Amino acid sequence: MTTHALADERARSTAEHIALTETFTAHNYHPLPVVLAHGEGAWVTDVEGRRYLDCLAGYSALNFGHGHPRLLARAHAQLDALTLTSRAFHHDRFGPFLEAITALTGKEAALPMNSGAEAVETALKIARRWGHEVKGVAPDRGRIVTMGGNFHGRTTTIISFSTDEVARSGFGPYTSGFVTVPYGDLDALTAALTDDVVAVLLEPIQGEGGVVIPPAGYLAGVRAACDAAGVLMMADEIQSGLARTGELFACDHEGVVPDVYILGKALGGGLLPVSAVLADRDVMDVITPGSHGSTFGGNPLSCAVAHEVVDILATGEMQERARTLGARLDAGLTGLVGEGVLASRCRGLWAGVDIDPRRLSGRAMSERLLARGVLAKETHGSTIRLAPPLVATEDDVDLLVAAFADALAEA
């Protein structure tokens, strides 16, 4: 693209950009009417120069903010060296990244992929083969227990066990081999762990569901139930992991170590899609040459950036920021309960806020926040999800709470 053509694109107004998009895109999203052009830290700027506090952060993909200098430097350096090879060959970024991420997570092996949904699909394949080869479940009989209200992606296998009809409806026939139980109900889970179950898949906190935090002791109970039944516990920490909740993993809040970690979003530092499945060798070694793969999974550029993410997380600074700023956000949002807020759930710098639907819809609340320079998005009607980058400041958090209060007070 020439400099002149690029300048012409940047000269388009918000309305022009939106019209162009709506003309040529599949309508699989319903964005707010803002067109972003630049980001730095916790803030973004639109095509007309207006600034906004990003309180969605790419659904936690931007935990470290827009354009983190260490991540940009690592990416720039790798761009000048090597960006992609086939996994038919080794490359010099792969081993060091694997060594770093296994040391950080305490698992013995990692299988890198790209998107979070790919990582979930990978984990499902691992669980099924492990169930057959290690647990001894008959071929094509292994079942996986999932949770009501889950969100693990939108591929055909994943929507087969989704309880969200918007994501599911019209896309059948569906993949079999799954049984769904209510999230947070240990008795229902235990009853579902029959001999042919090979794994339990859950989000330690349900992000898309509205930052739904399970009852205290639930994750520890799931761990114990999986141990008793001889099945794998697989934790989808794609949104909840990598410092978002104030710990490296949301499971850490109950001292629980799953058999399988599923990671994504923040692992790519907000620069590119990187995901990974991590497990010990007795689980991971059911994957053999040719049984799984990805052209871009574990490419040099992704490994370089993800390695820098691991190095940032290893200091614990981001976890501490999430705890400190999260406590400030929690206090501010709790003060709004009864003032148009029905309930607020906060874990680290991650909150789900239930707006009274008699006052206004979640979409209307998102639009009011947009008008006040805050980017957030509703889920499931009247719940607003808040996940500012962990590099946000105390002033940013106070601005968010003030904007929320002002939006609720609008006549």
Q: Which residues are catalytic?
A: 151, 236, 265
SS3 275: strand
Per the document, the length of the chain is 411
Write the DSSP assignment of 74-92 as a string of letters: HHHHHHTT-----TTS--T
The alpha helices in 106-155, defined as continuous H runs, are 116-130
What six digits make up the tokens of 359?
A: 């006052």
Question: In the beta sheet, which residues pair with residue 345?
Answer: 352
Give φ, ψ of 348 to 5 degrees. 65, -145
Per the listing, tokens 């693209």 go with: 1
Instruction: List Cβ neighbours of 143 (8 Å cut-off, separation of 6 or more).
Output: 177, 178, 179, 194, 196, 197, 198
Helix residue ranges, H only, 199-316: 218-229, 281-284, 300-314
In 3D space, the residue among 408, 378, 403 whose CA is nearest the CA of residue 52 turns out to be 403
Is residue 214 within 8 Å of 148, Cβ to Cβ? no
Contacts of 37-40 with CB under 8 Å at 24 or more apart are 37/10, 39/65, 39/66, 39/67, 40/65, 40/66, 40/67
The angle formed by the CA atoms of residues 372, 375 and 379, to the nearest 5 degrees, is 120
Q: Is the Cβ–Cβ distance between 343 and 337 less than 8 Å?
A: yes
d(CA 377, CA 392): 18
- Cβ count near 175 (within 10 Å): 14
3 state SS of 128 = helix
Give every strand in the sheet of 143-147, ordered side by side: 109-113, 275-279, 260-263, 232-236, 197-202, 143-147, 178-181
CA dist 344 and 335 (Å) reads 10
